[in-house]
Amino acid sequence: MNIISILQELDIAHRVEAGDIAVHSPIDGQLIGRVRSDPVAHVDAVLARAQDANMVWRNVPAPRRGELVRILGNKLRERKQALGSLITLETGKILQEGLGEVQEMIDICDFAVGLSRQLYGLTIASERPGIRWAYAR
């Protein structure tokens, strides 16, 4: 398994030398790359931006959020072999298990897409922003 070719296939080879923490494969100790550590203040700022984004995201209609999850699942399918290989390098699992991890992500995406169309609770999801159909009792 060639680390550089896997990282190039995933279009992340240019990022492997950017950090101050070395990451080694448990298989043979080979350097996979480097990750950057960040100060607590920077992490807190990133988390605050994520929380702000969540406030906007939760107002996007569920079927439209599901569409994004469907696209993510398709991207995982496209890169399944390389992602499975990367998981193998990072964790020391055999390749079949690495591929199985990626398949689990794909399966969860498929499940979540279906959930975005489910009718639970007292409202019905609509694709129109700001519209929720309420059940009359």
Is residue 135 scored above 60 in pLDDT? Answer: no
For residue 114, what is the enclosing H or E element?
helix 95-115
In this prediction, residue 9 carries a pLDDT of: 93
**3-134, superfamily in CATH?**
Aldehyde Dehydrogenase; Chain A, domain 1 (3.40.605.10)
Give the predicted TM-score (pTM) of the model.
0.78
What pLDDT sits at residue 133? 59
Q: What is d(CA 42, CA 115) in angstroms, rounded to the nearest whole number?
A: 34
pLDDT one-digit tens code per residue, 47-88: 999 999 999 998 888 889 999 999 999 999 999 999 999 999
Can you tell me the distance from the alpha carbon of 65 to that of 88, in angstroms, rounded to the nearest whole number? 30
Angstrom distance (rounded) from CA 44 to CA 47? 5
